[in-house]
A = this chain, B = another copy of it.
Amino acid sequence: MKELELKRKIKPTVLKLGGSIITRKEKPLTPNKGVIKRLAKEISQARAEKLIVVHGGGSFGHPIAKEYGIAEGFKDKSQLIGFSKTSQAMTMLNKIVVEALLNEGIPAIAIRPSSFIVTKHGRIENVDWSIVAKLLELGLVPVLYGDAVIDSAKGFTILSGDQLVAELAIELDAERIIIGVDVDGLYTADPKVDDSAKLIRKLSLKQLKELKDEIGRSKLVDVTGGMLGKVNELMRAVMHGIPVLIVNGLKPNKIYKALRNERVVGTLITR
């Protein structure tokens, strides 16, 4: 009960830094150091209180995880070194992100998902979030990330940063979620390949579901360029009344403005 009260009063902001902005997707194990440094500055200048940062894997986690089929679960011992390597690559990326935050005076603290989260068929099961809550209460900034984790059904799997964001936000009763990606938000089509793609500035849960059905019917594989899959994972949080704001983290000051609650180009999804 005390734990619950603690959580209720914190009302944190959950900030996701996508793998597409903090790493160079085309180059394995290459951080986008300039972007990471700028984002750390923006986070510091925004003076956001009760902040949780979650980052993706980008070119650190994904190539190795794919090579060893980690997301598909344990099949034989030859995957074990791949599980280790995926995990270690994520530690490396996380170390760079935490270091950048520390350099800006932010008391960031790495939280390793695989050390306390178990999934079942890829979905997070009953997790004790009290350490994260306690760190927030002290004034520290927990930094989590997508990770290779133990799965009670298939041995191990990959836990995405997006699932982590939704779960954290719901469990810690977050005030809001801010998602930093490499496009301005959710478009009607993939803005990287389709000039007619229009940015959707505001979206209710009902509209989002309609959009999903529409795209489902067209049988195309996510015409929005992967953004809808990401949004799908976050829908659970929106259903809990937590607004999700998607902004372009590659463009300066978007994350800063979002953290400051200032007007910013992006997609806002509310219940």
Contact of A156 among B99, B116, B130, B138 (CB under 8 A): B138
Stretch at the interface among A55-63, A101-109, A246-254, A257-265: A101-109
Contact of A83 among B98, B107, B112 (CB under 8 A): B107
- A87, B130: Cα distance in complex, Å: 18
Stretch at the interface among A35-43, A88-96, A163-171: A88-96
Shortest CB distance A142–B (Å): 9
Bound Cα distance A253, B110 (Å): 35
Q: How far is the CA of A134 from the CA of B140 in the complex (A)?
A: 30
Chain A facing B: main interface SS: helix
Q: Which chain B residues border A140 with CB–CB below 8 Å? A: 80, 83-84
Q: Is A81 an interface residue (CB 8 A)?
A: yes
Contact B112 A85, beta carbon cutoff 8 Å: no
* Per-residue interface assignment for chain A, residues 122 to 143, with 1 indicating a CB less than 8 Å from any chain B CB and 0 otherwise: 0000001011001100111000
CB distance from A214 to the nearest CB of B (A): 41
A134 to B175, CA, bound (A): 35
A269: Cβ under 8 A from any B Cβ? no
Contact A114 B109, beta carbon cutoff 8 Å: yes
Q: How far is the CB of A140 from chain B (nearest CB, A)?
A: 6
Q: Which of B108, B109, B112, B138 contacts A74 (CB 8 A)?
A: B138
Report whether A108 and B84 are in contact in the complex, using a CB–CB cutoff of 8 Å: yes
A155 adjacent to chain B (CB < 8 Å): yes
Give bound CA distance, A79 to B138, whole Å: 10
Task: Answer yes or no: A199 CB below 8 A from chain B CBs.
Answer: no
- A117 and chain B: residue at smallest CB distance: B131
In the complex, what distance in Å separates the CA atom of A68 from the CA atom of B143? Answer: 21
Among A91, A108, A111, the most chain B Cβ lie within 10 Å of the Cβ of A91
Chain B contacts for A130, CB-based, 8 A: 118
| Closest B residue by C-beta to A115 | B115
Q: Is the CB of B116 within 8 A of A102?
A: no
Select which of B81, B88, B102, B150 is within 8 A of A131 by beta carbon. B150
> Could you tell me the distance between the alpha carbons of A230 and B116 in the complex, rounded to whole angstroms?
28
Q: How far is the CA of A98 from the CA of B110 in the complex (A)?
A: 17
Contact yes or no, A155 B131, CB < 8 A = no
Having A80-B140, A87-B110, A88-B98, one finds 14 other A-B pairs with CB under 8 Å, namely A74-B138, A77-B139, A81-B102, A84-B140, A88-B95, A88-B110, A110-B115, A112-B115, A113-B115, A115-B116, A115-B131, A118-B131, A135-B150, A138-B155
